[in-house]
């Protein structure tokens, strides 16, 4: 929904005597079709709207990516509306193209989309590491943490937030709050602020403040902590052997300290062998997401899965099955399923057959719309 429509909704909410945010969500929900509601759950690659591309090409980082909205993509959106898009280096050519592309994506959607990107600072920075962009680059997140100066983290968040806003984004998949406790970790390493949970907590909070100063949302990741792993979930099964008490005393500290400040939490595809009894990746585990994150830790904000096309999920579950399990587990947003349309149809079928209630669907859609009322313009 475009900005003027959101304003109308807020005005109607005030006139009805309800608070603007609650009223806006309620009125929007009542006017939405089932497919529009389900679409809000999906944050996908723009490439996934091109039905002529294979899933292998869509998810291959070095392949050619979509850099403008085509008629084929518009036609897919009419049948499979998406709640947002995550852009990668292959979707980015230069500053002018990126500004046009993000605006085209906004205009293509009936309800304004979340526009997200991984811009952590350091090695994972889709814009800063692009040769056509002249924005400030940060050597690594670890180098910021080593200063011990949270102002440096704030400044990094503000610098990144400013250019993300300039290029049309509203969500940064950052900061990482993983505590890098395992020197053999091949996934996190210098992407983390450090190996001290108190330091990571302070730095991540300051980075979030910097993003917020530029009206960009953040997402702390990768719950419940990816710092003490040695395998890569992009390729397959990853497990940690720590107990819940051990996580509470280290890896979970930066999450808990920043629940009130963050705009979302991203969940990792790691299996918790000594915590949950379902043997599922955290993203698919109701024990972890609803039982631990929602109920025990009392986090009531937006929950996003890590990319569902990763091997830890794709190699063991169909896109439909994974989407349903992830939503049943308690996630609100399903990030980049391997097959978007199959995952979408899987959620529709689960609702139509009663496996998932529409009340449960509305619960997540309301969180997503509340998020959009704050950050999507």
Mean pLDDT in runs of 10 for the chain (377 residues)? 40 32 50 96 98 96 94 98 97 98 97 97 95 95 96 98 98 95 70 94 98 98 74 60 94 97 96 91 96 98 97 93 98 98 98 98 97 89
Q: What is the pLDDT of residue 377?
A: 65
Given the residues 28, 118, 263, 306, the one annotated as active site: 306
List 234, 278, 362, 370, catalytic entry: 234
| Residues 290, 354: Cα–Cα separation, whole Å | 20
Model pLDDT, residue 229: 55
∠ CA(152), CA(119), CA(313), 5° rounding?
130
- Residue 83, classified by CB atoms within 10 Å of its CB into exposed (0-12), middle (13-18) or buried (19+), is buried
Indicate if 300 belongs to the active site.
no
Three-state DSSP state, 302? strand
Please indicate whether residue 56 is annotated as part of the active site: no
| Cα distances (angstroms) measured from residue 351 to each of 34, 115, 354, 363 | 9, 27, 5, 14
Nearest Cα residue to 167 out of 240, 252, 94, 220: 94
* pLDDT at position 187: 65
Name 237's Cβ contacts closer than 8 Å, sequence gap at least 6. Answer: 231, 271, 312, 316
The confidence score (pLDDT) of residue 240 equals: 86
| Structural contact between residues 176 and 218, judged by C-beta atoms closer than 8 angstroms | no
């Amino acid at each position: 929904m475009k900005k003027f429509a959101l304003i109308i909704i807020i005005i109607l909410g005030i006139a009805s005597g309800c608070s603007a945010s609650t009223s806006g969500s309620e009125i929007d929900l009542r006017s939405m079709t089932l497919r529009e509601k389900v679409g809000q759950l999906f944050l996908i690659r723009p490439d996934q709207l091109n039905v002529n591309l294979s899933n292998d090409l869509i998810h291959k980082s070095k392949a050619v990516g979509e850099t403008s909205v085509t008629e084929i993509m518009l036609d897919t959106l009419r049948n499979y509306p998406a709640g947002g898009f995550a852009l990668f280096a292959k979707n980015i050519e230069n500053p002018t193209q990126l500004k046009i592309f993000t605006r085209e994506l906004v205009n293509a959607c009936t309800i304004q989309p979340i526009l997200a990107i991984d811009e952590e600072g350091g090695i994972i920075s889709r814009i800063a590491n692009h040769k056509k962009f002249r924005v400030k680059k940060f050597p690594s997140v670890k180098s910021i943490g080593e200063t011990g100066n949270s102002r440096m983290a704030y400044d990094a968040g503000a610098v990144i937030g400013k250019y993300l806003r300039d290029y049309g984004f509203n969500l940064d998949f950052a900061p990482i709050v993983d505590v890098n406790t395992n020197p053999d970790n091949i996934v996190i390493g210098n992407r983390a602020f450090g190996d001290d949970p108190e330091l990571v907590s302070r730095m991540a909070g300051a980075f979030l403040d910097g993003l917020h100063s530029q009206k960009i949302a953040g997402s702390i990741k990768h719950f419940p902590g990816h710092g003490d792993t040695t395998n890569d979930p992009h390729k397959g099964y990853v497990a940690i052997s720590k107990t819940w008490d051990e996580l509470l005393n280290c890896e979970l500290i930066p999450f808990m300290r920043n629940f009130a400040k963050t705009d979302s939490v991203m969940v990792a595809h790691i299996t918790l062998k000594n915590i949950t009894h379902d043997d599922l990746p955290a993203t698919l585990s109701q024990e972890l997401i609803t039982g631990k994150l929602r109920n025990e830790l009392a986090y009531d904000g937006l929950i996003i899965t890590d990319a569902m096309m990763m091997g830890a999920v794709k190699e063991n579950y169909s896109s439909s099955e994974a989407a349903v399990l992830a939503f049943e587990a308690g996630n609100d947003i399903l990030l980049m399923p391997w097959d978007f349309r199959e995952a979408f149809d899987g959620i529709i079928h689960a609702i139509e057959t009663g496996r998932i209630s529409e009340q449960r669907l509305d619960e997540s859609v309301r969180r997503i719309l509340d998020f959009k009322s704050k950050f999507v313009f």
